[in-house]
C-alpha cells in the first residue's frame, strides 16, 4: 500500500478514505522503495514516539512521499537541526532552547500577539471585503511573532513566507533553503557583534554560527507554516460547522488541533534501531514507521465520537498534534496562544465572517507536508 493523501473535496477535514479501517500497524510502500510500516492508533503511535529503540535520525529514515527537507534521506541532520537527531545530541539543543520557550515567556508575548492580530484586522477592515485570510491574517501573525522571537526584521517577512512555503511542498524550489540559510547566517553574525533581547542573541555563547543558523531556520519554518495553516484551516472548519464565535475557547483550540491534524502527509516517522514489537507486529531493525496523525487523533478508543468536531470536548489535549516523547513540540504553548488569540480576535471583529466562495472551491494543499489552504477568500457585512 502507498500512503493515501487525497481528501474528498466535500469532506476536506476528514482523513483520506484509504486510511480508514486499517489495523494498528500496516505494511507501507515508501517512495524510495522501502517496505516499512504505517501506524494508525494512539497506542501504537505513543509506543513508537516514546520508545528509545526508535530513532528520529534523518540519515536512518526512509521517505513515504517525496520530501524537500534539509539534508534529505540518507544524510545526517546538519548541526543545529535537532528535530532529526537522537539523544544526547538532541538533548543538548533541547535543553538550551527550553529556557527560551518557558510558559512564562510565552505568556509575556500575549499582549504583543494581541496587538499584531488587531493591526492585521484593522488593515482588513480598512481594505474592505473580500480578503484572502491566508495573506491578510493567518500568515502575518506567526510570521511577525517568530521574527520578533528570533530577532530578525519583520520587513523581511515576505522573503520568509515565500521561501519557507517551498520547504513544505514536494519538489519545492531547492534554492529556498540556501536563501534562508544565507540570510540567517548574516543575522547570527550581527547578533554576535550587537546582541539584543531575542532568542538568537541569547544562544550565541553556546552555539557555533552554523548551529545557530540551522536552529533558527528550523524554528522559523516550524513556527511559521504550521501555525499559519492551522489558523486558517481552523477558521474554515468553524465557518463550515456554523460555530458561533463565542465557542472558540481553549478547549475549542485543542479540539481543532485534534480534529484537523494538519501534519498529514507522512506525519512523524521513526526508524527501529533493533527489532521491536508494536501492536502485535514485529518491526525489524532498519524499518521506518510513519504515523498517520489524522487517523490517530480520531482513535475511537481514546476519543468518544471522534469524527465529530465538539468544541466543548473534555480531555481534548489527549491528541498527538504536538507529538509525544522527547521530540514533543517545543513551541506548543506559543502555538496555542497564537491560535486562541487569532481565532477570538477575528470573530470578535467580524462576527458575520463567511467564505466568499463555495467550500469546495477553497484550494487545499494535498501535496504538502503541512495540510492547509493556499488561499482562503472570506467576506463580511460592512453595515
C-alpha span between 82 and 56 (Å, rounded): 10
C-alpha span between 111 and 323 (Å, rounded): 27
DSSP alpha helix (H) spans, 156-208 = 157-167, 175-193, 199-203
Residue 27, strand partner residues? 37
Picking from 322, 343, 341, 335, the residue whose alpha carbon sits closest to that of residue 103 is 335
The CATH number of the structural domain formed by 17-379 is 1.10.630.10
Q: Residue 69 to residues 57, 263, 319: CA-CA distances in angstroms?
A: 13, 14, 25
Picking from 259, 278, 266, the residue whose alpha carbon sits closest to that of residue 319 is 259
Q: Residue 362 to residues 49, 313, 378: CA-CA distances in angstroms?
A: 34, 27, 10
pLDDT on residue 70: 44
Helix (H, G, I), strand (E, B) or coil at 164: helix
C-alpha span between 192 and 184 (Å, rounded): 13
Helix (H, G, I), strand (E, B) or coil at 2: strand
Residue 354, strand partner residues? 379
C-alpha span between 1 and 10 (Å, rounded): 24
Helix (H, G, I), strand (E, B) or coil at 276: strand
Q: What is the DSSP letter of 277?
A: E
Q: What is the DSSP letter of 373?
A: B
pLDDT on residue 315: 64
Helix (H, G, I), strand (E, B) or coil at 8: coil
For residue range 49-81, list pLDDT tens digits in order.
Answer: 999 999 999 999 998 886 544 444 568 999 999
Per the structure block, which three cell numbers stand in for 148? 520578533
pLDDT on residue 32: 86
For residue range 103-139, list pLDDT tens digits in order.
Answer: 787 888 899 999 999 999 999 999 999 999 999 999 8
Q: Residue 32 to residues 60, 64, 268, 345: CA-CA distances in angstroms?
A: 13, 7, 17, 45
C-alpha span between 13 and 236 (Å, rounded): 9
Report the b/e string of 126-158 with b at 16+ CB within 10 A: eeebbbbbbebbbbbbbbbbbbbbbbbeeeebe
C-alpha span between 123 and 61 (Å, rounded): 44
pLDDT on residue 111: 95
**DSSP of 92-153, one letter per residue?**
HHHHHHHTTS-HHHHHHTHHHHHHHHHHHHHHHHHH-S-EEHIIIIITHHHHHHHHHHHT--
C-alpha span between 378 and 383 (Å, rounded): 16
pLDDT on residue 103: 79
pLDDT on residue 215: 94
Picking from 265, 383, 257, the residue whose alpha carbon sits closest to that of residue 323 is 257
Residue 66: exposure state from Cβ atoms within 10 A (0-12, 13-18, ≥19)? middle
Q: Which residues of the chain have pLDDT under 70?
A: 66-74, 165-172, 265-266, 315-316
C-alpha span between 184 and 167 (Å, rounded): 16
pLDDT on residue 93: 95
Picking from 267, 292, 278, the residue whose alpha carbon sits closest to that of residue 18 is 292
pLDDT on residue 316: 61
Q: Apex CA 86: angle with CA 99 and CA 263, to 5°?
A: 80
- CA 207 from centre of chain: 25
For residues 222 and 327, the answer to whether their CB atoms sit within 8 Å is no
Amino acid at each position: 500500500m502507498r500512503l493515501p493523501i487525497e481528501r474528498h473535496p466535500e469532506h476536506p477535514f476528514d482523513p483520506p478514505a484509504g486510511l480508514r479501517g486499517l489495523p494498528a500497524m500496516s505494511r507501507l510502500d515508501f517512495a524510495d522503495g522501502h517496505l516499512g510500516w504505517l501506524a494508525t492508533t494512539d497506542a501504537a503511535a505513543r509506543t513508537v514516539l516514546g520508545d528509545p529503540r526508535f530513532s528520529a535520525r534523518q540519515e536512518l529514515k526512509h521517505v513515504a512521499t517525496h520530501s524537500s527537507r534539509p539534508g534529505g534521506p540518507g544524510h545526517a541532520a546538519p548541526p543545529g537541526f535537532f528535530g532529526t537527531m537522537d539523544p544526547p545530541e538532541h538533548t543538548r539543543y533541547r535543553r538550551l532552547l527550553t529556557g527560551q520557550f518557558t510558559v512564562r515567556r510565552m505568556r509575556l508575548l500575549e499582549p504583543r500577539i494581541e496587538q499584531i492580530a488587531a493591526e492585521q484586522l484593522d488593515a482588513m477592515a480598512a481594505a474592505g471585503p473580500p480578503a484572502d485570510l491566508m495573506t491578510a491574517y493567518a500568515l502575518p501573525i506567526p510570521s511577525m511573532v517568530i521574527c520578533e522571537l528570533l530577532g530578525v526584521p519583520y520587513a523581511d517577512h515576505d522573503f520568509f513566507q515565500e521561501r519557507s512555503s517551498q520547504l513544505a511542498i514536494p519538489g519545492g524550489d531547492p534554492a529556498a533553503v540556501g536563501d534562508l540559510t544565507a540570510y540567517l547566517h548574516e543575522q547570527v553574525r550581527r547578533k554576535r557583534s550587537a546582541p539584543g533581547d531575542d532568542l538568537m542573541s541569547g544562544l550565541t555563547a553556546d552555539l557555533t554560527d552554523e548551529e545557530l543558523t540551522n536552529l533558527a531556520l528550523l524554528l522559523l519554518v516550524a513556527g511559521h507554516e504550521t501555525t499559519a495553516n492551522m489558523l486558517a484551516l481552523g477558521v474554515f472548519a468553524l465557518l463550515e460547522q456554523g460555530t458561533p464565535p463565542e465557542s472558540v475557547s481553549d478547549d475549542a483550540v485543542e479540539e481543532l488541533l485534534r480534529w484537523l491534524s494538519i501534519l498529514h502527509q507522512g506525519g512523524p516517522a521513526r526508524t527501529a534501531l533493533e527489532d521491536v514489537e508494536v501492536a502485535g507486529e514485529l518491526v525489524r531493525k532498519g524499518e521506518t514507521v510513519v504515523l498517520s496523525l489524522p487517523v490517530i487523533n480520531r482513535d475511537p478508543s481514546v476519543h468518544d465520537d471522534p469524527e465529530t468536531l465538539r468544541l466543548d470536548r473534555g480531555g481534548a489535549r489527549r491528541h498527538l498534534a504536538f507529538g509525544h516523547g522527547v521530540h514533543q513540540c517545543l513551541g506548543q504553548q506559543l502555538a496555542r496562544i497564537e491560535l486562541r488569540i487569532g481565532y477570538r480576535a477575528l470573530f470578535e471583529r467580524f462576527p458575520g465572517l463567511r467564505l466568499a466562495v463555495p467550500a469546495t472551491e477553497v484550494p487545499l494543499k494535498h501535496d504538502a507536508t503541512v495540510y492547509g489552504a493556499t488561499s482562503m477568500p472570506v467576506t463580511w457585512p460592512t453595515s
